[in-house]
Structure 1
Amino acid sequence: MEPISSSSVVDALNWRYATKQFDPERKIPSDDWAAIEQSLVLTPSSFGLQPWKFIVVDDPAVREAILPNAWNQRQVVDCSHLVVIAAVTDLGEEEVDKLINVSAEKRGVEPAVLDGYREMMLGMIVKGMDADQRRAWAVRQGYIALGNLMTVAAMLQVDACPMEGFVPAEVDKILGLPERGLTAALLCPLGYRAAEDKYADAPKVRYPVEDLIERV
């Protein structure tokens, strides 16, 4: 594949912003959305464990139910696509074995070949953390997926708004997540900015490179 030019990458990141108003009439084309979904699937995670589920909320009634639990931020109902990044609440041996079995199948080896890797994951994640630590670890993994999602969206000139401003317990109830061993970690509405969104043309507020990047 041909590399993307460095100027195109920077231009896309300068173009993006946390969109406050979406145009409810504009929908993301299916091919662009397929690429965005693949950006989620291809997101790296610690040990490759992928402790998440990405829930695309299409149902208008479900979005309306989420709205008051997202501080009445209209992005969740006006966007083209609403993604809920849900984290596994208590990753255990079953999830580790699933990864081992899929890895063995994909790479053409017996699962026993990966016993050392399995024991390392069990020791560090399943046995080395308590339930609260495992939950927090899985939520942190969700931020990696969010970053990937927003960057790819920007490259496609699709707007996004990362959101921590919601009540996870209520969103969990609406989506039936607790019985599935999941919790809502982040919301990300995606679509296209409304013409009247005053923040679209606001200058970015970022510290200069010399303040943020050090070389040792």
Structure 2
Amino acid sequence: MSILETAKQRYSAKVFDTTRKISDDDIHTLKTIFQLSPSSINIQPWHVLITDNQETKAKITQATQGYYAFNEQKILDASHIMVLCVKNEINQAHLDKLLAKEQADGRIPNDDILNMTKTLRDGFLASQSEHPEKLQAWAANQVYIALGQLLLATADMGIDAVPIEGFDVNILAETFNLTEKGLTPLTLVAFGYHSDADFNANLPKSRFELDDIFTTF
């Protein structure tokens, strides 16, 4: 299937088949695709929690009560849930770890490239750090870039998914001690295979026309 055909047939699953589970091999592939996602200055400011455990999924639904109750069954019925988090602090330790990994992977062949990379990255982050809320928004944007890649890859593999932002961030963070771990949850992603009862599976896509969203200049 071409990437265009994958994009055309991808949709957000609303009802999952509880009898079907995603294989360990496919989950490993999805993890690797997320790992390979692009990010600005290769900053990779993310951490992902993943589970297929029913008790853990039930704990997640503590954050989907009341106004967000419409998302509870999706979480319980899905094969796997990912919690996509952004790191709360992009600090020197993170930059040092990143630089060391790039060196180990052969991206930095000599000291000149090392010093240039370090100077540019440190300078960029220093300028962003003058406004902490701007830095955090920038970091969160990188996670959403990875989310887009993950969703397209999922569809290409014949797996259904739905991103879920309808949850109480504070409750989820408290339930799993995420603040203490330096993380903020941004979105959940439920993965599985849609049920025959999924009304959204057969609905046509609806998007603005190309002329409405593109201007050639």
TM-score when normalising by structure 1? 0.90
- Equivalent residue number for residue 157 of structure 2: 156
Contact 2:164 2:189 in 1 (8 A): yes
How many residue pairs match? The answer is 210
Q: Does 1:125 align with 2:128?
A: no
Matching residue of 2:103: 104
1: CA distance, partners of 2:167 / 2:62: 9
Long gaps (5+) in structure 2:
none
CA RMSD for the aligned pairs?
A: 1.7
Deviations 1:90-149 (A, max 9, x none): 111111111111111211645674122212222222453233222222211110111011
Moved over 3 A (4+): 108-113
SS of equivalent to 1:76: helix
2:74 is the alignment partner of 1:80: no
Structure 1 residue ranges without an equivalent (≥5): none
Q: Which moved more, 1:176-185 or 1:145-154?
A: 176-185
Q: Deviations over 1:60-109 (max 9, x none)?
A: 22211221413121111111110111101111111111111111121164
The DSSP-based 3-state class of the residue aligned with 1:99 is: helix
Bigger relative contact order, structure 1 or 2 (CA pairs below 8 A, ≥6 apart)? 2
Q: Contact 1:84–1:184 (CA<8 Å) still a contact in 2?
A: yes
Q: Between the two proteins, what is the percent identity of the paired residues?
A: 29
Inter-partner Cα distance in structure 1 for 2:22 and 2:95: 35
1-structure distance, mates of 2:78, 2:111: 43
Contact 1:28 1:191 in 2 (8 A): yes
- 1:143 match: 144
Tell whether 2:115 aligns with 1:115. Answer: yes
- The change in CA–CA distance for 1:113 and 1:207 in structure 2 (over 3 A counts) is closer
Q: Secondary structure of the residue that 1:61 maps to in structure 2?
A: helix
Structure 1's 191 and 111: CA in aligned 2 closer, same or farther, altered over 3 A? Answer: farther
